[in-house]
């Protein structure tokens, strides 16, 4: 028994090249649906901004450039192929309510931004690799001084929050374009 086992173990290294060639010949041909071929080095351009905040759209582009640079997929300047960004909207909603002297007031505010991106290989070419709509949110507390809303501080925090969400969104869009995984930050509605 031991002799037969030793003989079989000795034959395995001799058969290994044949086994590997056979495995390669009958491989299944699996290819991932998402994240196939890399789009190469891309330029970045905001082609449409439907949001009121122009700085937010530039932050989306900055976030995408940052991610593409990390991935080694950023091309400098203008040109093709390029990632085109469409910023669809920004919004803000009240997240919590408290009783104030003049009635109910917000305790926190959720600011969000929605955008999409795609790749265009050359001028006039059809878009490829559309990311679909993605969203990023940021939650900020409402600033109060002696129980009164501090409008100056709230304005700074609101602007900072939308810029931070926009930069994160740009990174998500870039990740999807280079074949990574990115999820939208959808708000969950509270049940009854």
Pick 188 or 93 by higher pLDDT: 93
Give the structural domain span for 100. Answer: 2-177
In a domain, 190, yes or no: no
Q: What pLDDT is attached to residue 190?
A: 39
In a domain, 191, yes or no: no
Mean pLDDT for 157-173 is 93
In a domain, 51, yes or no: yes
Mean pLDDT for 140-147 is 75
Q: What pLDDT is attached to residue 106?
A: 74
Pick 105 or 114 by higher pLDDT: 114
Tokens of 174: 């870039």
SS3 state of residue 177:
helix
Q: What is the CATH number of the domain that holds 112?
A: 3.30.160.150
Residue (of 8, 185, 10) closest to 114 by Cα position: 185
In a domain, 141, yes or no: yes
Tokens of 15: 């058969």
Mean pLDDT for 134-163 is 82
Pick 139 or 117 by higher pLDDT: 117
In a domain, 184, yes or no: no
Q: What pLDDT is attached to residue 191?
A: 39
Contact yes or no for 135/113 (Cβ under 8 A): yes
Q: What pLDDT is attached to residue 37?
A: 55
Q: Work out how many domains the chain is built from and give that number.
A: 1
- What distance in Å separates the CA atoms of residue 155 and residue 161, rounded to the nearest whole number? 10
**Measured between alpha carbons, how far apart are the two ends of the chain, in Å?**
72
Mean pLDDT for 92-110 is 79
Q: Does pLDDT of 58 surpass 90?
A: yes
Query: What mean pLDDT, rounded, does the chain reach?
Result: 81
Q: Does pLDDT of 116 surpass 60?
A: yes
SS3 state of residue 152:
helix
In a domain, 64, yes or no: yes
Q: What pLDDT is attached to residue 189?
A: 47
Q: What's the pLDDT band for 192 if we cut at 50, 70, 90?
A: very low
Q: What pLDDT is attached to residue 140?
A: 87
Mean pLDDT for 127-139 is 93
In a domain, 33, yes or no: yes
Q: What pLDDT is attached to residue 103?
A: 75
Mean pLDDT for 69-90 is 94
What pLDDT, in 10s, does the model give residues 15-29? Answer: 666 665 666 555 555
In a domain, 161, yes or no: yes
Q: What's the pLDDT band for 53 if we cut at 50, 70, 90?
A: confident
């Amino acid at each position: 028994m031991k002799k037969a086992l030793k003989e079989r173990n000795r034959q395995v290294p001799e058969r290994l090249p044949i086994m590997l060639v056979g495995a390669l010949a009958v491989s299944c041909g699996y290819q991932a649906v998402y994240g196939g071929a890399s789009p190469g080095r891309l330029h970045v351009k905001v082609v449409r901004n439907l949001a009121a905040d122009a700085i937010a759209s530039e932050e989306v582009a900055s976030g995408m450039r940052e991610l593409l640079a990390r991935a080694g997929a950023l091309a400098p300047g203008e040109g093709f192929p390029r990632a085109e960004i469409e910023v669809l909207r920004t919004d803000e909603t009240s997240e919590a309510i408290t009783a104030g002297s003049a009635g109910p007031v917000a305790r926190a505010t959720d600011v969000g931004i929605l955008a999409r991106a795609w790749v265009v290989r050359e001028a006039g070419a059809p878009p490829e690799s559309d990311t679909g709509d993605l969203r990023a949110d940021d939650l900020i507390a409402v600033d109060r001084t002696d129980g009164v809303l501090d409008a100056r501080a709230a304005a700074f925090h609101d602007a900072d929050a939308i810029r931070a969400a926009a930069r994160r969104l740009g990174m998500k869009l870039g990740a999807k374009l280079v074949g990574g995984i990115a999820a939208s930050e959808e708000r969950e509605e509270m049940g009854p």
